[in-house]
Amino acid sequence: MLREIIRETTVRIAVYQNQPVFGEIEHNLNRVLDDLSEHQFDLLVLPELFATGYLFADSAEAAALADTAGEGVTFTRLRELAESKDAIVIYGFPEKKGDKLFNSSLAILPDGGFHCYQKIHLFDTEKAIFLPGETGFFVIEHQGVRIGMMICFDWRFPESARKLALAGAQIICHPANLVLPHCPDAMITRALENNVFTITADRIGDESRGGKHVHFIGTSRIIAPNGVILAEIGDTETGFRMVEIDPVEADNKIITARNDIFRDRRPEYYWKDEC
């Protein structure tokens, strides 16, 4: 169980890559849960919008498939998974909050509690569907492990991962629906520049709707603080990967005897000429 694993200093972190059928939430959930039924893990990351699909025709369609945080069939069934595995489960979903729609991720704790992050940096057509997130970046601490969340295009802004790392995150969980080719390698840099573990959970396949087409590149990865790829799923396959890590490795920011990547920062100069 999670609490026992942490006393032994290792945590089993996992990523799952899927190929959802647009709008078929129950079907997509069943496939994921069937695939995960025989696996044990302490922290699992699922893709962005993993149960609904991505390419919404308009905000009304997204709203029809959206859930309030902590409600709905997706939350209910993944809460059962988190409780049965004594694990943290993180997944992406369209969130409705009053009359607002967000592209969000939810972290469900083993006791059924949850934390919701709303995507800060919206990509392309998402701007016609969702509002920019309002939660800001934050860190969850559970059983001594510190976890942060960001979603997909947040990767393109180094401030996202840096904000989480400065707040103490040891593991950055990154649900994604990647269409640009750069992110898998860029996340090596995000891990290196912050000395943290990163978990990018992507999807595969294509969606063509409303005259628009997108292709998703897969390549989900778990990356160590030293930039080593610990686990990877290919660009055409679905599935599950897990590795055991010691999250305390991410607390060491020392590069040489004279260099600490956080203590050596000079933020008074970084924004000096910002317009």
Catalogue the active-site residues. Answer: 48, 119, 152
**3-state secondary structure at position 254:** strand
Contacts of 270 (CB under 8 A, 6+ apart): none
**3-state secondary structure at position 22:** coil
β-pair partners for 198: 172, 223
Contacts of 21 (CB under 8 A, 6+ apart): 27, 28, 53
In angstroms, how far is the first alpha carbon of the chain from the final one? 50
Write the CA distances from 77 to 91, 126, 224, integer angstroms. 12, 26, 30
- Distance (Å, whole) CA 159 – CA 271: 12
Contact 225, 195 (CB under 8 A): yes
